[in-house]
């Protein structure tokens, strides 16, 4: 594969889970992947508890803004990971779809968001190892 693999993280509001997943992916895989996140019904802002939980691990997502899910974003991605958005994600042949069942951080304090953040990190690490392993050269 000559071009970088691309991943799209989708949740309803694009304010918590998908933002944390995209941030972890970018942080851990660097420029080996292209990463996007979007929501089927984007919120006005990223969940403050998600921002705080990521700040605790040294990742700043304060500049992120929830984005609307578009057909183009799905078509441009090799792997689409949904996080509780149900049937809102358009399905295209040849794409890989994963559904990560995760707690919803909406309305939760940072204490409740930490385990969600850590679970997302574990799943992201496994996905990176699978689709964009580090060169052993």
pLDDT in tens, 86-106: 656 677 788 899 999 999 898
102 close to 117: Cβ distance less than 8 angstroms = no
Q: Catalytic one among 23, 61, 89, 120?
A: 89
Q: What pTM was computed for the model?
A: 0.92
What ranges in 58-109 are assigned the alpha helix state H?
Answer: 71-75
Question: Which residue out of 20, 74, 85, 110 is catalytically annotated?
Answer: 85
Site of tokens 């802002």: 45
Catalytic residue among 8, 10, 11, 20: 11
Residue with tokens 């969600």, as numbered in its chain: 116
- Measured in whole angstroms, the distance separating CA 84 from the mean position of its chain's CA atoms is 12
Known catalytic membership, residue 80: no
Taking only the tens place, the pLDDT of each residue in 22-80 is 999 999 999 999 999 999 899 999 999 999 999 999 999 999 999 999 989 989 999 99
Instruction: State the pLDDT at residue 40.
Output: 87
């Amino acid at each position: 594969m000559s071009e970088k693999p691309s991943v799209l993280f989708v949740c309803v509001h694009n304010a918590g889970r998908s933002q944390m997943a995209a941030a972890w992916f970018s942080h851990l895989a660097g420029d080996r992947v292209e990463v996007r996140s979007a929501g089927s019904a984007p919120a006005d802002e990223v969940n403050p508890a998600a921002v705080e939980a990521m700040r605790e691990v040294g990742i700043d997502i304060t500049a992120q803004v929830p984005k609307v899910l578009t057909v183009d974003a799905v078509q441009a991605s090799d792997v689409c990971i949904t996080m509780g958005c149900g049937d809102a994600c358009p399905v295209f042949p040849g794409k890989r779809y994963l559904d990560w069942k995760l707690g919803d951080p909406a309305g939760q304090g940072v204490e409740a968001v930490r385990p969600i953040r850590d679970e997302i990190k574990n799943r992201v690490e496994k996905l990176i190892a699978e689709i964009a392993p580090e060169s052993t050269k």
